[in-house]
Chain A
Amino acid sequence: MSQQRSSYAVGTGLFIVLGFAALAYLATQTSSVANVHQGASYTVDAHFTNIGALKERAPVKIAGVRIGQVQSITLPPGQEVADVKLTIDKSYDRIPQDSVVTIFTSGLLGDQYVGIDYGSSQQFVANGGTLARTKSSQPLEEMLGKFFGAGGVSDNIGGTYTVKADFSNVGTLSVGAPVKMAGVAIGTVQTVVADPVKLDAKVTLAIDKRYNAIPDDSSAAVFTSGLIGSQYVAIQPGGSPDALKDGDEMVLTQSAMQLEDLIGKFLVNGSSSDTKSAGNGKSDIPPAGKH
């Protein structure tokens, strides 16, 4: 009997040991214990006007190598800048005071992290010190906005006048999309209709009366805000002394650029699709939003 009892005890003991071994395995091998447990470290402040999606415990990197983590992110009441506390490993204690702290995004859709670019100062930042030179997170929208010249959509549009424009391809332009000039919304797309005779898309733009001095040789183009954003009509002013009037037609138009075409042209210069995409296929006009 005692023999059997002790075998139970041994088996149970083995089971318990196995369970704890599994727990230790989970805790050490599959999670970043290093993130929680840290050696000697010191803390540095940095102020950002926009931290984007930076989170606590995000890595701090120099030359892409992790040297610490974000300890806390606070917005002191009444201030416009976020106070980010960085915990940095003690062995990297020779960071020049004029180093630039930047919030980067790993990849296009990845997490955000703090990158430090070394400065040239002989003064090193101390525990509790502040790295004054920072670059805030660059929202992708803003970056692409600069690139494409898109801005915010304005509201309260008063009286409008309408202008027509023909496009061979409007992409996914829909009724209500903004009309922008210099990146500022000055009107909206009123109708998008396919022309049964000319086989192109007729777009009617309602433009705010305040902008009544747009030269009549201005061109209209269908642009995309951001990489995967919605499409809008951009007006690029021409040089004519005469202004557009109600009911006028814009002659110079530029159709929607298909991202696929664009990348295709960029990457494979002279691929097979290039030869036929010159006319930008009239057959692939999407059905108009409303009739």
Chain B
Amino acid sequence: MNVRASQHNNVVVQSLAQIGNCGLFLLTLLVAIPRSFRHVRETIRQLWFVGAMSLTIIMVCGLFIGMVLMLQLYNVLSIFGSTSASGMVVALAVYRELGPVVTALLFAGRAGTSITAEIGLMRATDQIDAMEMMAVDPIAYVATPRFLAGLIAMPLLCCVFCAMAIFGGHLVGVTWLGIDNGTFWSNMTAVVVVHTDIVNGVLFKSLVFGAVVSLIAVFQGFTTPPTSEGVAYATTRTVVASSIAILALDFVLTAFLM
């Protein structure tokens, strides 16, 4: 019993320590931003890797989310004879919740894991130490460009995701199920407000999620034990921690922004 209690205690203390280290790491990253301006090319390369290379999965998933949402809504709303409202519900649901959250989850799975694995392997193969030996700051050269790339890529990816979801909703609703094209768009434009839905919903949320996911990914990569097992664990932890952080933050942000 005592052993179990102390283990329990250990877990709590360790988690707190992780959160504390993560916060300190964020400060280090932010401080290193001016120094990383010398490595703009690296940032662009990372933006290509985490952003442009994630486009395919984001676009396909956005398309299907919009399509399935429209299909479900059409079935329910047809009970009340108000299928013409389904377009606006798709838009609101995607802008306010599904767009940022699903994009962030996909981003964590697609980009976050590879950032962690890459940095973890750099650590395991002593590349980070070699950089320090050559007087290259690994934070400014490895960590910050990836963090910044995630920060920039997430809102852009989220916009693409939302546009694809609207397109998918239009495809199913108008082309397949026969909702009137005019009512689809006019109902949507009547309820979507740029400030609350697109700026606060799409852009702000995805910016926060991008920061959180890339922070967790870079942090896990840097703190991984330099073994193959350690890299595996760190990669898993990136996905788990990111997912929890995204969903919890989503609730908090929604409560604040509403």
Give residues 17-62 of A contacting B (CB, 8 Å).
18-20, 22-23, 25-27, 29-33, 35-36, 57
Asked if A5 contacts B52 (CB within 8 A), the reply is: no
Specify which chain B residues have a CB less than 8 angstroms from the CB of A182 in the assembled complex: none
Specify which chain B residues have a CB less than 8 angstroms from the CB of A31 in the assembled complex: 188-189, 192-194, 197-198
Specify which chain B residues have a CB less than 8 angstroms from the CB of A19 in the assembled complex: 51, 155-157, 159-160
A32's partner among B52, B153, B192, B203 (CB-CB below 8 A) is B192
Give residues 175-231 of A contacting B (CB, 8 Å).
none
Specify which chain B residues have a CB less than 8 angstroms from the CB of A26 in the assembled complex: 95, 159, 162-163, 166, 198, 202
Distance of A5 Cα from B48 Cα, bound (Å):
10
Specify which chain A residues have a CB less than 8 angstroms from the CB of B195 in the assembled complex: 36
Q: Mark A63-103, 1 if CB is under 8 A from B, else 0.
A: 00000000000000000000000000000000000000000
Give residues 157-185 of B contacting A (CB, 8 Å).
157, 159-160, 162-163, 166, 185
A143 proximal to B (CB < 8 A) = no
Asked if B156 contacts A18 (CB within 8 A), the reply is: yes
CB distance from B13 to the nearest CB of A (A): 42
Asked if B193 contacts A11 (CB within 8 A), the reply is: no
CB distance from A104 to the nearest CB of B (A): 15
Q: How many residues of A contact B (CB 8 A)?
A: 24
A12's partner among B48, B194, B198 (CB-CB below 8 A) is B48
A-B interface pairs (CB < 8 A), number? 84
CB distance from A27 to the nearest CB of B (A): 6
CB distance from A10 to the nearest CB of B (A): 9
A33's partner among B91, B159, B194 (CB-CB below 8 A) is B194
Closest to B188 in A: A30
Interface of B is mostly: helix
Asked if B189 contacts A32 (CB within 8 A), the reply is: yes
CB distance from B155 to the nearest CB of A (A): 7
Specify which chain A residues have a CB less than 8 angstroms from the CB of B189 in the assembled complex: 29-32
Distance of A20 Cα from B153 Cα, bound (Å):
11
Asked if A12 contacts B52 (CB within 8 A), the reply is: yes
Distance of A31 Cα from B193 Cα, bound (Å):
6
A153 proximal to B (CB < 8 A) = no
Q: Mark B100-134, 1 if CB is under 8 A from A, else 0.
A: 00000000000000000000000000000000000
Specify which chain B residues have a CB less than 8 angstroms from the CB of A33 in the assembled complex: 194
Contact stretch, chosen from B26-34, B39-47, B223-231: B39-47
Closest to A23 in B: B159
Distance of A14 Cα from B156 Cα, bound (Å):
11
Specify which chain A residues have a CB less than 8 angstroms from the CB of B197 in the assembled complex: 31
* Best-surrounded residue of B45, B48, B166 (most CB of chain A within 10 A): B48
Asked if B160 contacts A30 (CB within 8 A), the reply is: no
Closest to B154 in A: A19
Specify which chain A residues have a CB less than 8 angstroms from the CB of B258 in the assembled complex: none
A9 proximal to B (CB < 8 A) = yes
Give residues 31-65 of B contacting A (CB, 8 Å).
41, 44-45, 47-48, 51-52, 55
Asked if A27 contacts B194 (CB within 8 A), the reply is: yes
Distance of A32 Cα from B48 Cα, bound (Å):
33
Asked if A15 contacts B192 (CB within 8 A), the reply is: no
B190 proximal to A (CB < 8 A) = yes
CB distance from B217 to the nearest CB of A (A): 19
Asked if A15 contacts B47 (CB within 8 A), the reply is: yes
Other A-B pairs, 8, CB within 8 Å; known A31-B188, A32-B189: A16-B51, A19-B51, A30-B185, A31-B189, A31-B192, A31-B193, A32-B192, A33-B194
25 A-B pairs in the complex with CB atoms less than 8 angstroms apart = A5-B41, A5-B45, A8-B45, A9-B44, A11-B52, A12-B48, A12-B51, A12-B52, A15-B47, A15-B55, A16-B47, A19-B155, A19-B156, A19-B159, A23-B202, A23-B203, A25-B163, A26-B162, A30-B91, A31-B188, A31-B194, A32-B192, A35-B193, A36-B195, A57-B193
